[in-house]
A = this chain, B = another copy of it.
């Protein structure tokens, strides 16, 4: 299912905290990746997941030189589409990298908007500098093949304890990564934006000294005030 660029742009305007709240109201309670953090605090991305799954390495599986036509990591990278987020299931094992700076560069050239792993990156300082939004559980210079064998692409994976299906919408900010089914993306984006707006209004009120009671959650009076504020704002 295609999610429009407009929706993806809207999703990037909400924080991962707001998005998880909206998803929770829709019954999805396990949507934020555990122990996966941005390499750069200012990261921001949104796009459909392109998944890669690692299993534990076995000595006979990954013989050098690596063959770009059969190695599933490489095959996957050459299939990534513009706008995708590359999501790597590394079984939360950080004893080796899952990717280095050259592959990250190729991913970027192909138009991907971010990379996510619940393992580690190698060359992580270079990846961080490159500007590609990148999320991981650790840094590790060891090449993937010591610990990880690339097994499949574009199947459902686990990443940071969250289920990620190919095409799921993956949104990252300075806090981490949230995942949602694509059919929910549009309504989540809109509800989140509304919630962001309402919460920014509430935040201002709180900063101005309002008590929590009546303000957060907003009671009828506060909601009316908010609607008025929104209207005033719109008519500016």
By the criterion CB–CB under 8 Å, are B124 and A74 in contact?
A: no
Nearest Cβ distance between residue A204 and chain B, in whole angstroms? 9
By the criterion CB–CB under 8 Å, are A27 and B60 in contact?
A: yes
- Secondary structure of the A contact surface, majority rule: loop
By the criterion CB–CB under 8 Å, are A109 and B207 in contact?
A: yes
Q: Interface extent on A, as a size class?
A: 35 or more
Nearest Cβ distance between residue A137 and chain B, in whole angstroms? 10
By the criterion CB–CB under 8 Å, are B34 and A158 in contact?
A: no
How many protomers of this protein does the assembly include? Answer: 6
User: Which residue of chain B lies nearest to A105 when distances are taken between CB atoms in the complex?
Assistant: B206
By the criterion CB–CB under 8 Å, are A163 and B58 in contact?
A: yes
Q: How far is the CA of A172 from the CA of B155 in the complex (A)?
A: 30
By the criterion CB–CB under 8 Å, are B203 and A105 in contact?
A: yes
Which A residues are closer than 8 A to B by beta carbons? Answer: 15-17, 19-21, 24, 27-32, 34-35, 37, 41, 55-61, 65-66, 68-69, 74, 77-78, 91-95, 97, 100-103, 105-106, 109, 122-126, 138-143, 146, 149, 151-152, 155-158, 161-163, 173-176, 178, 181, 199, 202-203, 206-207, 209, 211-214, 216-217
- Jot down 24 A-B pairs with beta carbons below 8 A, ordered by A: A15-B125, A17-B101, A20-B143, A24-B143, A28-B60, A29-B59, A30-B56, A30-B58, A32-B142, A56-B158, A56-B162, A56-B163, A60-B181, A61-B163, A66-B217, A68-B216, A74-B212, A78-B213, A105-B206, A109-B207, A122-B175, A125-B174, A141-B178, A152-B156
